[in-house]
Structure 1
Amino acid sequence: MMKIRPYGSHALLINFEQKIDLEIHHLVKGYFNAISEFEEVSYQIPAYCSITVVFDKKTTDYEHLKSKIELLEIEPSKTTAKTTTIEIPVCYEAAYAPDLASLAQELNLKPEEVISLHTAETYDVYMMGFLPGFPYLGKLPVALECKRKSTPRKQVKAGNVGLAGQQTGIYPSDAPGGWQLIGQTPLKIFDPHRKDAFLLKMGDRVQFKSINAETYIKIKQDVE
């Protein structure tokens, strides 16, 4: 069920059922793509189960835009047709995975089982947030669901791949963080100097690929 309400003087908020769910994600993606065609819309902020729509007050108002959105007919099953899958190489070796061993023990798994489970899935980019370019990916296999660290790190290096709850994510830049770090990618997830600063966007899919340290270093040198 979709609900729309005002969100300040020149925005509205579309809310769907409040849970992490693939069908809801496809609804978010479908409405986001359709609303992107509206000339009166300045920009949108999609999340797990909502979209903030910012509009130009000179060309429309809340009631008119709300009515226009309510007339849209979105079929979630059709939103997968335009999906892009991006392969992300990750080094899971001990020097690049500070929490892998302890997390594996906590989950009653071997480190190699954590790696196997993490790379076996193809993850949906549900939303971007927290930091510019930080992708919230899901859902994790049930066996990998875990709590954040009780004490967050003051600094997590860009490229670290972490787990938290039902999600996995990639730190796009150096920042504090409390996710369980199980590997690192040599790719630049966010680069403000690149024409397309964001490697990933909401609606993409991600497949992680395990690489060794030698390959990590080579790719790292190539992208810098």
Structure 2
Amino acid sequence: MTATRRERLADDALLLHLGAETPPIDDATNARVHRLAARIRAAAPAWLRDLVPAYASLAVFFDPDAIDASDVERWLDAQLADGDSATVATGSRCIEIPVVYGGDFGEDLDSAAQELGITADALTARHAAGIYTVAMIGFAPGFPYLSGLDPALALPRLATPRTRVPAGSVAIGGAQTGLYPRESPGGWRLIGRTPLRLFDPTRASPSLLAPGDRVRFVSIDADAFARMDAET
């Protein structure tokens, strides 16, 4: 495993680039990012403060009072040199996300299906049939970018983003699907909504999903949504 480029983000952070940062999205490169992150977490060096995986890069935050950046670079080079020679468990989970598709919960479902040349039911079924991977968390706290979308469901973003997207919205943007953790502006196509709280700063782990997790969407009805929403 090699880094195509390495840069210093700050006095306490380094960024390792493992592949191209531009589309098309490379799932194999993203898997390498998560394997490297797992190796570093397993080693648990005392100076490590945080790891932030992205699609093709890994940010490594360290304690500058405990170690010099050059020593961190040498240590990371050794991890990269080992490549995939040792198997390290990524600790990934498979999490089910209940979703009401369409109607007031996913106002773009019908138009998206029409654009794709399929029925709304077919779009729902194909979206829910996938097993997705949290490639990275970004854009907003707790927003998961999910790889694994059926290429036939890829849709361009809206020409004019909405000023308000409801919290929990499930959406398609390009070749990705994702979930809006809180109300915010956004330009992805809204196809459904989950009652789960994707980000809660009062929880021990504020983000429900973490990079490397696997995700399954499970279709539910509005009554089930109301019950679950009241319980969360």
Name the TM-score, length of structure 2 as normaliser.
0.90
Over aligned residues, Cα RMSD in angstroms? 1.7
2:57 to 21, 46, 50: 50
Q: Gapped runs of 5+ residues in structure 1?
A: none
1:90 to 77, 91, 99: 99
What is the aligned partner in structure 2 of residue 220 from structure 1? 229
Structure 1 position 24 matched with structure 2 position 29: yes
Which residue type is aligned with residue 6 of structure 2? Answer: I
Which residue type is aligned with residue 145 of structure 1? Answer: A
Measured after TM superposition, the shift of residue 197 of structure 1 is 1.6
What is the aligned partner in structure 2 of residue 125 from structure 1? 134
Q: Is the 8 A contact 1:43 1:54 kept in 2?
A: yes
Moved more, 145-154 or 11-20: 11-20
Counterpart secondary structure, 1:7: strand
Q: Is the 8 A contact 2:171 2:190 kept in 1?
A: yes
Q: Is the 8 A contact 1:125 1:135 kept in 2?
A: yes
Structure 1 residues 79 and 94: CA distance shift in structure 2, 3 A: farther
What is the aligned partner in structure 1 of residue 145 from structure 2? 136
Counterpart secondary structure, 2:172: strand
Which residue type is aligned with residue 170 of structure 2? Answer: V
What is the aligned partner in structure 2 of residue 40 from structure 1? 47
Moved more, 144-153 or 60-69: 60-69
* Count of residues paired in the alignment: 223
Q: In the TM superposition, what are the counterparts of 1:1-224 in structure 2 within 5 Å?
A: 1-2=2-3, 3-18=5-20, 20-36=25-41, 37-72=44-79, 73-75=82-84, 78=87, 82-223=91-232
Structure 1 residues 212 and 80: CA distance shift in structure 2, 3 A: farther
Which residue type is aligned with residue 172 of structure 1? Answer: P
Q: Is the 8 A contact 1:27 1:74 kept in 2?
A: no
Measured after TM superposition, the shift of residue 150 of structure 1 is 0.5
Which residue type is aligned with residue 15 of structure 1? Answer: H
Cα displacement string for residues 126-149 of structure 1 (whole angstroms, at most 9, x for unaligned residues): 000111100000121111111111
Counterpart secondary structure, 1:98: coil
Q: What is the alpha-carbon distance in structure 1 between the residues aligned to residue 221 and residue 88 of structure 2?
A: 35
Q: Percent identity?
A: 37
Counterpart secondary structure, 1:82: coil
Q: Gapped runs of 5+ residues in structure 2?
A: none
Measured after TM superposition, the shift of residue 42 of structure 1 is 1.9
Name the TM-score, length of structure 1 as normaliser.
0.93
Which residue type is aligned with residue 188 of structure 2? Answer: W
